[in-house]
A = this chain, B = another copy of it.
Amino acid sequence: MRIVPKSVQKLIDEFGRLPGIGPKTAQRLTFHLLRGTKQRAEELGRAVLDLKNDIQICSICSNLAESDPCIICGDKRRDHNTIMVVEEPLDILAFEKTGKYEGIYHVLHGVISPVEGIGPDDLYIKQLLDRLHDGQVNEIIIATNINVEGEATAMYLQKLIEPLNIQVTRIAHGLPVGSDIEYADEITLTKALENRGKY
């Protein structure tokens, strides 16, 4: 016997496939849409269907973009001698929000993770190396996440790039702003001590 209408169950199932959405949340979201107007549900449905339209991968930096080259790679006012390597497109957004970075980017679309079976060939690493042969780039800032995979990927890239006589830097490890020393983990504290700077 089917208590829940088929179309309702279908959407509960689909929501439940998204990361971090459990069955209860999937139910709640579905019934929220059911209670709302037909127009609201249609807006969401259309947005999902249209998601991949007009999106391409920038042939220079591999970022998701509406144009090729993307808006950042095509910006002549930016510093094209410095490339920041990030894991995901959203990381670019985070750095752009600071307004403090003038260089350009390269998106790996992931990190090296033997556990998940992701090797260097699954990432946009070859495309990064291709950008370094014309001698225009003089610094690569590696801004992968500060975790095991991010560090391993950073190390891998560093070994790959340093022979090309290009400076490789890593974003700083340390205590985040507003943090309590009392609650910081030992590795962060050790890094914060090692990387201490002069007043």
Q: Which residues of A contact B (CB under 8 A)?
A: 1-8, 10-11, 13-15, 17-21, 25, 27-35, 38, 40-55, 64-66, 71-72, 75, 88-90, 92-93, 96, 109
B65 touches A51 (CB 8 A): no
Q: Which residue of chain B has its CB nearest to the CB of A30?
A: B51
Known: A3-B93, A3-B96. A33 touches B19 (CB 8 A): no
A49 touches B42 (CB 8 A): yes
Known: A45-B48, A47-B11. A32 touches B6 (CB 8 A): no
B7 touches A51 (CB 8 A): yes
CA distance A64 to B27 in the complex (A): 14
Q: Which residue of chain B has its CB nearest to the CB of A89?
A: B31
Which of B41, B52, B93 is close to A52, meaning CB atoms less than 8 Å apart? B41
A-B contact pairs, 6 of them (CB 8 A): A2-B66, A5-B66, A8-B51, A31-B90, A34-B51, A46-B49
